Amino acid sequence: MEFNHNFFTTPDLETTIDRHPLIMPPEMPLQKAIAMMSQAWGSSCALSAQEQSLEEVSRHQVRSSCALIMKDEKILGILTERDIVKLTASGIVFADLSVAEVMTHPVVTLNENNFPDIFAALFLFRRYRIRHLPLVDSNAQLLGVISPVTIRDAMRPANLLKLRRVADVMSRKVVTATPDHSIKEIAQLMAENHVSCVIIVSEEPEREIKHPEGIITERDIIQFQTLQLSLEQILAIEVMSAPLFLLSPEDSLLAAHQEMKRKKIRRLVVSWNWGKGLGIVTQTSLLKIFDPMEMYTVIESLQHTVQKLQQENQELLNKIRVAE
């Protein structure tokens, strides 16, 4: 079956690439690296930069969920928000550590010659369970970084988003905690369950109901580490993001996509049946609609519906003609 290319629009490849990722040298102190990652806006490190001093790098403040560790224009490793959450959960002392001591390596990369469309990046995200993919040229020189964030931001509100519901892609694997949990305990829950957030709920155990009250994310953990707070003593209720914008499973993915872009957030909580059902939609789950098999199934179903409607219309016309 051939796809109708007018039916959906995938992102333009250029718009899915962050050409100015956060770059730091291997000797960068971990605390300083975390502070840089927690910054909201600013300029980025130039990819053509050669040896940069710590002072030069620290002047660049970017919004980034990862940092590439480089030396002599070679990618040595990567440091992500999830890495920092795991380190936080382990109780490791960050002082006197450099990024080289905690970075993930080797790094999975994508050659620009093997990047004909976004499906190549999505395949690698899924295969290696990663969320950041450096794009390199034929000489292994860094060109930029692709992530679910950059792809989501480049997504156009195409018909495919309008036709899919939140229930189609949401995850029911939701990790919850109560407002009196400490941030250290929240970080441990994230690390143990391999999730990017914990939903803070008030519970009614006898009715098996959980009312979502707030949320703590990986980025929050980064900011708390930047402030060097005592994570064992701070409670979720004191720092959680609240109130929440709640989705229904019947909402369209277009509504979820627009809300994420409007609020510059990466996840939305789904609640239904008066608190008995709880789910989450993330920027990564939104990308499921670009899975080739997913698109094939949806388009095939729609074509079947169109054929059925055409048949019913023809039968109705025949009846009208007979009646005349």
Q: How would you classify the pairing of strands 110-111 and 74-80? A: unpaired
Residue with tokens 């219309």: 313
The pLDDT of residue 268: 95
| pTM (predicted TM-score) | 0.74
Task: List CB contacts of 253: < 8 A, sequence separation 6 or more.
Answer: 161, 162, 164, 165, 166, 168, 169, 281, 286, 289
Alpha-carbon span 103 to 98, nearest angstrom: 9
Integer CA distances (angstroms), 302 to 82, 250, 255, 276, 292, in order = 39, 18, 21, 32, 15
Q: Which two tokens stand for residue 107?
A: 């790094």
3-state secondary structure 287-301: HHHHCHHHHHHHHHH
On whether the CB atoms of residues 187 and 92 are closer than 8 A, the answer is: no
The pLDDT of residue 150: 86
Which residues, listed in sequence order, are joined to residue 165 by a DSSP beta bridge? 252
The pLDDT of residue 55: 38
Closest among 87, 136, 84 to 107, alpha carbons compared: 136
CATH topology (fold) of 162-288? CBS-domain (3.10.580)
Cis peptide before 243 (omega within 30 of 0): yes
- Domain range summary for the chain, segments of one domain joined by +: 13-154, 162-288, 291-323
Integer CA distances (angstroms), 256 to 69, 146, 167, 172, in order = 34, 21, 11, 16
Cis peptide before 106 (omega within 30 of 0): yes
Alpha-carbon span 29 to 31, nearest angstrom: 6
The order of strands in the sheet holding 246-247 is: 246-247, 267-272, 277-282
Alpha-carbon span 149 to 165, nearest angstrom: 20
Which residues, listed in sequence order, are joined to residue 136 by a DSSP beta bridge? 111, 142
How many other β-carbons are positioned within 10 Å of the β-carbon of residue 115? 19
The pLDDT of residue 98: 97
Alpha-carbon span 191 to 85, nearest angstrom: 7
| DSSP string covering 80-112 | EHHHHHHHHHHT---TT-BHHHH-B-S---EEG
On whether the CB atoms of residues 100 and 69 are closer than 8 A, the answer is: yes
* Residue 108 φ then ψ, to 5°: -75, 130
Angle in degrees, CA 307, 313, 318, rounded to 5: 125
In whole numbers, what is the pLDDT of the chain averaged over residues? 83
CA 193, distance to chain mean position in Å, is 16
CATH superfamily of this structure's domain 13-154? CBS-domain (3.10.580.10)
pLDDT tens column, 237-257: 999 999 999 999 999 988 898
Which residue ranges in the chain fall short of pLDDT 50?
1-8, 40-62, 296
How many other β-carbons are positioned within 10 Å of the β-carbon of residue 6? 8
* Residue 284 φ then ψ, to 5°: -70, -40
